[in-house]
């Protein structure tokens, strides 16, 4: 089993604000992208890392040990570019991860890879624990049953051939690669998500990520 990681980093980070896209912004002495790449480059079960970058960013990108390629207009197109850039025929499994989740741990990566022993797909998620409402114009309009609902995270792992075929057959928008995989009939196992594996989406998320990383540096947890 040879496993590769595809880090999708071709988004513009509009919601996060700033003068450069969120992956290039500083976080605890490095850039967001450096933290995310380090998690995969240091993992003993990841043999290759493919980084998918925006066309405006790729000329200046210097990442030793990482294959860089240009992404597309939406996340799914960027994932397809990453899959196409995998040039080692021995890679049988692929983990697809948002660059915007820099606090991912080795434990989560290991758990996703382990689940691929028995399932064509595997992804971390957290069960919804808060009550769910519907609302309109600032007022509650109803309640929603939360049983069986999960918050999806990345990395999402798959059999390489199966996810490549699933993406080739898929048309339209997809929230994530699990949606693409399920459209192709693949089974996807849920592994334990991690509250700290947040996606930097809005400006306040940089501080949340920084607190998590500083806490780890102070306590060296795995
Ligand atoms: N065309 C795109 C769009 C998104 N992504 C990546 O997909 C991940 C999840 O997307 P999101 O958090 O929405 O990032 P952005 O698209 O950058 O953010 P925004 O929607 O706020 O502009 C990010 O790592 C982003 O870089 C990508 O590679 N290619
Ligand atoms: C892939 C993802 O991170 C899983 O939670 C999420 O779907 C990305 O969502 P966004 O709409 O691009 O913020």
CB count, 10 Å around CB of 149? 12
Residues with CB under 6 A from ligand 2: 75, 98, 152-154, 175-176, 199, 201
Angle at 7 between CA 86 and CA 12, to 5 degrees: 125
Query: Are 102 and 35 a contacting pair, CB within 8 Å?
Result: yes
Residue 214: give its domain's CATH number. 3.90.550.10
Atom of ligand 1 at shortest distance to CA of 7?
24
Atom of ligand 2 at shortest distance to CA of 152?
5
Q: What are phi and psi of 120, to 5 degrees?
A: -70, -20
Residues with CB under 6 A from ligand 1: 8-16, 52, 71-75, 78, 98-100, 199, 201
Look at residue 135 and tell me if it is in a domain. no
Q: How many domains does the chain have?
A: 1
Q: What share of the chain is helix, strand, coil (3-state, %, to 5)?
A: 30, 30, 40
197-216 per-position pLDDT tens digit: 999 999 999 999 999 999 99
Where in the sequence is the domain holding 92, given as residue range(s)? Answer: 2-121+152-219
Task: Please tell me the pTM assigned to this model.
Answer: 0.96
- Does residue 84 sit in helix, strand or coil? helix
ipTM of the complex: 0.97
Look at residue 127 and tell me if it is in a domain. no
């Amino acid at each position: 089993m040879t496993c590769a990681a595809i880090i999708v980093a071709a988004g513009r980070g509009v919601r996060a604000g700033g003068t450069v896209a969120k992956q290039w912004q500083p976080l605890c002495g490095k850039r967001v992208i450096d933290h995310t790449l380090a998690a995969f480059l240091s993992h003993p079960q990841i043999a290759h890392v493919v980084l998918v970058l925006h066309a405006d960013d790729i000329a200046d990108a210097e990442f030793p040990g990482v294959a860089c390629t240009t992404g597309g207009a939406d996340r799914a197109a960027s994932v397809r570019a990453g899959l196409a850039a995998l040039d080692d025929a021995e890679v049988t499994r692929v983990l697809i991860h948002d660059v915007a989740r820099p606090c991912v741990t080795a434990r989560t990566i290991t758990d996703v890879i382990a689940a691929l022993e028995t399932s064509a797909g595997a992804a971390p998620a957290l069960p919804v624990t808060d009550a769910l409402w519907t609302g309109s114009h600032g007022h509650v309009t109803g309640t929603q049953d939360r049983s069986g609902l999960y918050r999806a995270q990345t990395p999402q792992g798959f059999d390489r051939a199966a996810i490549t075929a699933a993406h080739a057959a898929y048309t339209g928008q997809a929230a994530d690669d699990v949606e693409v995989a399920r459209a192709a009939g693949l089974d996807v196992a849920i592994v334990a998500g991690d509250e700290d594996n947040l996606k930097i989406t809005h400006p306040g998320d940089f501080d949340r990520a920084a607190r998590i990383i500083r806490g780890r540096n102070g306590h060296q947890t795995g």
